[in-house]
Amino acid sequence: MFGINGPEFILLLLIGILVIGPQRLPEYTQKLANLVREVRRMASGAREQLKEEVGIDIDDVDWKKYDPRQYDPRRIIKEALLEDDTKPVSAGGPAAVAAAASAAASHTEERPARIIESLGVGERAPFDSEAT
């Protein structure tokens, strides 16, 4: 809790007891207990309100999906560069069939010539006033 281990916590408790004093110690322990109860009540109330508004329970959420460390650009680029792109394709797979069909179609059919229209010297390009 807060990066404090057991011996450090005991030392802080002893310092707190010495600073507060034995007369006021019961009063402060009661205040601390009330504070802890109030924080727990608020946390459970927030959990219930979230469940009512969103419709999911906090325990059911997969928090690994929302971990920003998984979106480290260096890691993404490294994985993309090390990824093997030469995956074997089966002979009857969809990619192989499509590639064979397009290769056969390109050899048998002639493509129409591409017509490129250019403007004459001094001719203005068409302008559509409604398009802007």
pTM of the model: 0.36
pLDDT tens profile 96-106? 555 666 666 55
Give CA–CA dist 28/55, Å, rounded: 39
Rounded CA gap, 75 and 81, in Å? 10
User: The tokens 């929302």 sit on which residue?
Assistant: 66
Q: Residues 25-83: pLDDT tens digits?
A: 888 889 989 999 999 999 999 888 888 887 777 777 788 888 887 788 888 888 888 87
Residues whose CB is less than 8 angstroms from the CB of residue 47 and which lie 6 or more positions away in sequence, other chains included: 58
Phi, psi of 73 (to 5 degrees): -60, -35
Contacts of range 20-25, beta carbons closer than 8 Å, 24 or more positions apart: none
